[in-house]
A and B are shown apart, each in its own frame.
Chain A
Amino acid sequence: MIDDQTRMLDEGALRALVPRVLTGLVRRGEDFDTAEDALQDALLEALRVWPEHPPRDRHAWLQTVATRRLVDARRSEAARRRREQEELQQPPAGEPAPEHGDDTLFLLFCCCHPDLAPASQVALTLRAVGGLTTREIADAFYVPEATMAQRISRAKRALRGNRLDRPGDLAVVLRVLYLAYTTGHVGPATRVDLAGEAIRLARQLTLATEEPEARGLLALMLLNHARLPARLDSEGRIVTLDRQDRTLWDTREIAEGVRVLQSALAAQTEERRPGRYQIEAAIAALHDDAASAEETDWPQILAWYDDLVALGDDPVHEDPAAVLGRAVAVGHSLGAVAGLRESDGLREVLGDRHRWHAVRAHLHELGGDLPAAATAYADAASRAMNVAERDHLVRQASRTRMAEFDERSRATDTP
């Protein structure tokens, strides 16, 4: 548990040192697994000691303590092996990784190794690159600390024997960061701000690579995160985009998001069209740009959705979420009936998901068919996967049913 005194420590500055120290150890020939464990120990030690005894050179302190832990670990390992009467092995020599390239990028490629499951990639990234403690990561994912510790050490074991000096898959890194972001964005507030952490890591990534999609991802996160303060009301109830108090949106984040997105889009050529994160960021920017829900530029949003679904050959199966988002845009630009028709094609793929029913309900309501909207909201509520979402959909069902009732009684009152 981190006490108040520890919180006074500038944790952000401490955690920012992690990638550099860890990369230094790995490049010196230590294996990633052991070095990462040693650094985690050093980090916990720093959180304990620094508030009262701040070191003069933080980087050197962390490196020294981590190295000492490595030596200790190797000694006890050696002792264990001697006891087992096994051959004492020299510390792994390892091929030193190339010196060029950025520490953060190098570590991200290690942690987001394609062989690892997404949950492990995220956990390892948050620890080895983000400098979070196992405890904090466990809290963010609502699992016991021991479970998260085990997940991380299994992930590192799976990495053993892999050469970590080859360039990794940037697409996987982007997906992992986005997964960390959405976990933090959707979930209830925890002590660790996962969404903020993902933004910090994405920002670091944009300094390490010229890839426009990295900037697209950062822009997308910023442009969505800007609306977070308006997403829930004071009672914790979900407020949909069309009913949000737009004065609560973070204009500074929106401005940064737009700037980052523009710099990404400027790097495009005829042959190289914007990727999915840039497109989604552009859609988010158009929402952020509207002073009111009525002023939303739906035709422009639809045009970006056209680009998004055109990225794959079979969007219905490869990216049904994009097709569903497009159906909403179609509904708002071309009419509810057209939107519903678009969503029909997804019934087979998404018919079991609450989101599909919620979109249908929204489109029915848009078209004035309140009974159909109420039924679809109720269908969505029974499939919702979290309490806030379920409660929201139940409210929507109740509200549309009541509106329909009012409409009918008005109709009978009028002769």
Chain B
Amino acid sequence: MPKYLLLKHYRGGPEPHRPVPPIDQWAPEDVEAHMAFQHHVSELLESNGEYVDAQALAPARTWVRYGGPEAAPVATEGPHPETSDLIAGWWIIDVESHERALELAAYASSAPGPGGEPLYEWIDVREIMWERPQTAEPA
């Protein structure tokens, strides 16, 4: 079965469908509802037998590169342009089809935001490369 990475972003991606303030500025009941939904998604994936992994990333970012022979690595901790992508975390799912991956991503995007209304958050869906089982040698 194909595996997909469903990426959530702190920023970046298409124009937000519904711009919202940061979660720490939401009403307590909206915060609770949102967090409960996140748990629910992971539980749903597990009970469906579609769950592989889920991780959250801290927002702090360091870019680093080889500094050259005999030189220390070169690192930059920002400030980075506000427009650059910043990944917040992911689910890895193992599903029947591409359609199923899109369906789950859309469901994850329906997480409640301020006022209990869906967030309509963009989810980046990426297929993980894998060896497809083949019944015959390719011609």
Contact = CB atoms under 8 A, between A and B. Distances in A.
Contacts of B26: 398
A391 B35 contact: yes
B59 A398 contact: no
A393 B56 CA distance: 15
Interface stretch (B17-25, B44-52, B67-75, B129-137): B17-25
B58 A398 contact: no
A390 B56 contact: yes
Nearest to B59: A382
A394 interface: yes
A398 B27 CA distance: 6
B58 A401 contact: no
A378 B58 contact: no
A401 B56 contact: no
A276 interface: no
Contacts of A398: 23-28, 30-31
A385 B58 contact: yes
Contacts of B56: 387, 390
A82 interface: no
Contacts of A384: 58
A198 interface: no
B64 interface: no
A384 B23 CA distance: 14
A377 B28 CA distance: 14
A373 to B, nearest CB: 12
Contacts, number: 40
B31 A383 contact: no
B24 A378 contact: yes
A397 B24 contact: yes
Nearest to A393: B24
B60 interface: yes
B16 to A, nearest CB: 19
Contacts of A235: 36, 39
A394 B35 CA distance: 10
A395 B31 contact: yes
B35 A383 contact: no
Contact of B24 (A236, A377, A387): A377
A267 interface: no
A374 interface: yes
B116 to A, nearest CB: 14
A399 B28 contact: yes
A401 B25 CA distance: 7
Given A391-B35, A394-B31, A401 B60 contact: no
Given A235-B39, A390-B56, A398-B23, 16 more contacts: A236-B39, A374-B24, A384-B58, A387-B56, A393-B24, A394-B24, A394-B31, A394-B35, A395-B28, A395-B31, A395-B32, A398-B26, A398-B28, A399-B28, A401-B25, A402-B28
Which 3 residue pairs of A and B lie closest in terms of their CB atoms, listed nearest first? A397-B24, A378-B24, A398-B31
Interface of B: 22-28, 30-32, 35-36, 39, 56, 58-60
